Copies of this chain bind each other. A is one copy, B any other.
Amino acid sequence: MAAIGTLARTRATTDESIALPLDTILTGDCIARMRALPDASVDMIFADPPYNLQLGGELFRPDGSHVDAVTDDWDKFDTFAAYDAFTRAWLAQAHRILKPHGTIWVIGSYHNIFRVGTAVQDLGFWILNDIVWRKANPMPNFRGTRFTNAHETLIWASKGEKAKYTFNYRSMKTLNDELQMRSDWEFPICGGPERLKKDGVKVHPTQKPEALLYRILLACTKPGDVVLDPFFGTGTTGAVARRLGRHWIGIERELGYVGAAQERIDAALPLDESALATMQSPRQQPKVAFGTLVENGYLTPGATLTDAKRRWRVSIRADGSLVSECGQTGSIHRLGAGLQNAPACNGWTFWHYEAAGGLKPIDALRQTYLLATQP
């Protein structure tokens, strides 16, 4: 992993000549700083934008110009328009900076998330999920006037409708005890020793829990990927990225946060490579053709396969194709689909062979072959 603060060559596909400030906090205005980053250069963006209009104590008009809040007259329309202009400005930069296969995450509450989501869609991003962070221990509504505001919403989007993207499905399923990870996540709010404090006072009002970023980075990035956080705050994204072996870039205008973030990230301990390994999808394993198993004697031409319920019997031919009792032939997949009259079929799990302990799927032989041949 690159040392904190070093400049490293970007691995951007479009331009290898521009250096990215990897593992660095950039101070200053997020839009200006983003403008200086190259096209298609980061793998993920995580953004926790401000949701009130007091952007660092200043207000902006729809055109981005500065407003003197004391003398200018504000109504709600101006307020929303200004927020929208700000949102679209930084999201447009985010879209430009993102690699074609990258994704963006944005977190917000009902005050701003609808405006953010509309802008995300209007700028061409393609929403993949909205995720609900259910707070295990939210602050109660003390006056009893509304429902306890017990969640925040995240939007996960790709760069466009047809864009590919990283989603570590197996890792998420493993993390959730072998059930698909759902769109509602429960985490405690950030507190205890994780919460950064100075002189007993919390450093940042809305510090996000590391567990939240942990799940996001694990789900949608690979080790070595670059994650940009344009509203870095106290650096939760950086700390988790470093722990998980991902590169990070932070942008933050408040110097009080920058110092705390840097200190915190320096203290974050990177996990070693073996701990970073995760469950792989079968797609990422080397592909094994069914014929290979026949060639290598794991199955003999002429031997019989059946489905789990023994409804169909087929026999194996020398080239790895199958032939049914009524003469139909095809690959393990095609014939399985054809016999069931289904649009598709995974022959590896559909077809079984007679083993010592009963019927076993031929996929077991593939796994045995892979274990025997992989270093």
Give the interface of A toward B (CB within 8 A).
Answer: 60, 62, 64, 76-77, 80, 109-111, 113-118, 120-122, 124, 127-132, 134, 136-138, 140-141, 144-151, 153, 155-156, 161, 167-184, 186-188, 194, 210-211, 214-215, 218-219, 244, 271-272, 274-279, 281, 289-292, 294-297, 300-302, 315-321, 323, 329-331, 333-334, 337, 340, 342-346, 372-375
Contacts and interface: CB of A to CB of B under 8 A. Distances in A.
A170 B317 CA distance: 13
Given A271-B302, A279-B329, A297-B210, A290 B177 contact: yes
Contacts of A274: 302, 315, 317, 323
A132 B132 contact: yes
Contacts of A131: 147
A40 to B, nearest CB: 20
A285 to B, nearest CB: 12
Copies held by the complex: 2
A110 B122 contact: no
A172 B188 contact: no
Given A147-B183, A183-B149, A315-B275, A333 B178 contact: yes
A110 B137 contact: no
Given A115-B121, A136-B374, A174-B321, 16 more contacts: A62-B346, A76-B124, A114-B116, A115-B118, A132-B151, A145-B167, A150-B182, A174-B319, A174-B331, A175-B292, A175-B295, A177-B331, A186-B373, A214-B295, A244-B318, A279-B330
A182 B323 contact: no
B114 A129 contact: no
B275 A316 contact: yes
A161 B76 contact: yes
Contacts of A281: 144
A127 B147 contact: no
A129 B147 contact: yes
Contacts of A316: 275
B110 A127 contact: yes
